[in-house]
């Protein structure tokens, strides 16, 4: 039986003051840190808390309950949490379980904007198994935390170079690893949230890969209506060549990664016979162009939007293969006995075939590189399982099954990001013409496990295919 709060002599002249350490104190976001409490009474209840402010000033917090060992220590890499934001032995639980503090603005999602500065996470150690309000306000019995520590979580290592790209109509940010190179490289594409998202690219560069984070939608520097995709394959081709032409890049060792709609854009690159990337990573995406037929905005797909009892919207049905316009579906061509066969183009009329070939279709007969396809099985933002099945079957029909590797994660949602990032099961999508909160799916612990495992598999996949 553990002693209650206030019943222990936590400080005495015979015992050093409690100490909370976190090592390393500065680390990349994908690195584990060791969090330990020492000089505590044996077999006693303690709470370890984490809190930080986002770049927008919002408070994020996590806490967990532990019981010290007979030597008066608690070690998050060894010991099991018995309650709080997570349970079990989770060395990085305080990082991936961070959530907006009570009373925060609705629809928050933690996304790094300035990758040249870290997240600063404040850790504290408190007596007893306490409530979040005790952790973060200092209220309750006792004189505040027993010990505190601070860690910095970075996306960029020292020496990584960040370069704004506004060249020949291309909008992006390039990250180059420290040193002269040439380096293997990655084109990095995000989804229909639009804008220019840099943090994954910065982390790739920190792991030795030159990376181009490419904007293609919803950015002020891209001409045309803000809420439609106004670029095509020529834009993607130019960006790919821009990355190849850098002297720091090994032009024959370039891969592509896409999340959500970025998967379709990545496959566009991979199926161009003049580009031939060495590999493609696809995270929770679609094999068709669901953005809106014939240059329409994404709102044109609203007949497939589904709302829950809270009014939150799921876009999952938008991306079901059967709901994507036939002209924008995946197409595979293969040669059998000198005749060309088209597989599969269900319900497509012959008179529309030329439009289909000339526009945003995926000509998988040109695909020659391996694909790592990552699926979150609790994805509410995309029909990820169905799309993975679709492309796997298409490649099998084209006798290219050996190119396809699937990683599937129960309990993981749409937003599979670098490890130890907290998941947003919902987030604000737009406020105009009306406020929309989007359902992404994912449960904290299995989603965190998926992020950690898939990130390591991604890096291994890139090493194997880009470094040779």
Q: Is 361 a catalytic residue?
A: no
> Which position among 51, 65, 414, 447 bears the catalytic label?
414
Q: Which of 54, 289, 379, 421 is catalytic?
A: 379
For the question of residue 260 being annotated catalytic, the response is yes
- Contact (Cβ atoms closer than 8 angstroms) between residue 93 and residue 81: yes
First-to-last alpha carbon distance for the chain, in angstroms, is 57
Angle in degrees, 0-180, between the axes of helices 233-244 and 261-270, rounded to the nearest 10: 70
How far apart (Å, rounded) are the C-alpha atoms in residues 104 and 137? Answer: 15
Active site residue 414: yes
Write down the catalytic residue from 54, 81, 211, 260: 260
Rounded to whole angstroms, the Cα distance separating 162 from 205 reads 9
**What's phi and psi for 162, nearest 5 deg?**
-105, 130
> Which residues are annotated as catalytic?
260, 379, 414
């Amino acid at each position: 039986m553990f002693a209650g709060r206030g019943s222990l002599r936590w400080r005495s002249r015979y015992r050093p003051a409690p100490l909370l350490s976190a090592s390393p104190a500065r680390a990349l976001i994908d690195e584990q840190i060791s969090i330990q409490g020492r000089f505590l009474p044996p077999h006693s209840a303690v709470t370890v808390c984490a809190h930080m402010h986002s770049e927008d000033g919002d408070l994020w917090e996590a806490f967990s309950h532990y019981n010290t060992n007979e030597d008066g220590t608690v070690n998050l890499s060894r010991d099991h949490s018995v309650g709080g934001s997570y349970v079990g032995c989770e060395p990085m639980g305080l990082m991936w379980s961070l959530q907006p503090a009570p009373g925060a603005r609705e629809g928050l999602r933690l996304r790094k904007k300035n990758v040249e500065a870290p997240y600063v996470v404040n850790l504290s150690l408190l007596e007893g198994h306490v409530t979040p309000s005790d952790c973060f306000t200092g209220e309750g019995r006792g004189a505040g935390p027993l010990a505190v520590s601070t860690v910095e979580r970075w996306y960029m290592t020292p020496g990584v170079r960040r370069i704004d790209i506004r060249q020949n109509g291309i909008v992006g940010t390039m990250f180059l690893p420290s040193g002269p190179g040439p380096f293997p490289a990655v084109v990095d594409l995000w989804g229909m949230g639009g804008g220019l998202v840099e943090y994954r690219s910065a982390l790739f560069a920190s792991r030795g890969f030159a990376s181009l984070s490419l904007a293609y939608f919803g950015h002020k520097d891209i001409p045309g209506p803000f809420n439609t995709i106004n670029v095509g394959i020529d834009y993607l081709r130019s960006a790919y060549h821009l990355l190849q032409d850098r002297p720091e890049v090994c032009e024959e060792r370039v891969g592509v990664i896409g999340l959500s709609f970025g998967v379709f854009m990545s496959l566009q690159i991979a199926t161009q016979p003049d580009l031939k990337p060495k590999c493609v990573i696809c995270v929770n995406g679609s094999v068709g162009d669901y953005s809106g037929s014939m240059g329409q905005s994404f709102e044109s797909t609203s007949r497939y939007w589904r709302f829950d009892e809270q009014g939150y919207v799921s876009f999952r049905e938008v991306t079901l293969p059967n709901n994507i316009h036939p002209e924008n579906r995946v197409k595979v061509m293969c040669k059998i006995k000198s005749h060309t066969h088209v597989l599969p183009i269900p319900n497509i009329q012959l008179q529309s075939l030329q439009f289909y070939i000339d526009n945003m279709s995926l000509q998988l007969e040109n695909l020659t590189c391996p694909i790592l396809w990552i699926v979150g099985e609790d994805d509410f933002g995309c029909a990820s399982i169905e799309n993975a099945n679709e492309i796997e079957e298409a490649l099998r029909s084209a006798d290219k099954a050996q190119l396809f590797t699937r990683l599937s994660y129960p309990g993981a949602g749409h937003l599979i990001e670098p490890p130890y990032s907290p998941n947003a099961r919902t987030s604000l999508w737009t406020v105009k013409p009306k406020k929309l909160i989007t359902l992404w799916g994912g449960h904290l612990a299995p989603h965190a496990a998926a992020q950690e495992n898939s990130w390591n598999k991604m890096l291994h996949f890139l090493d194997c295919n880009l470094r040779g």
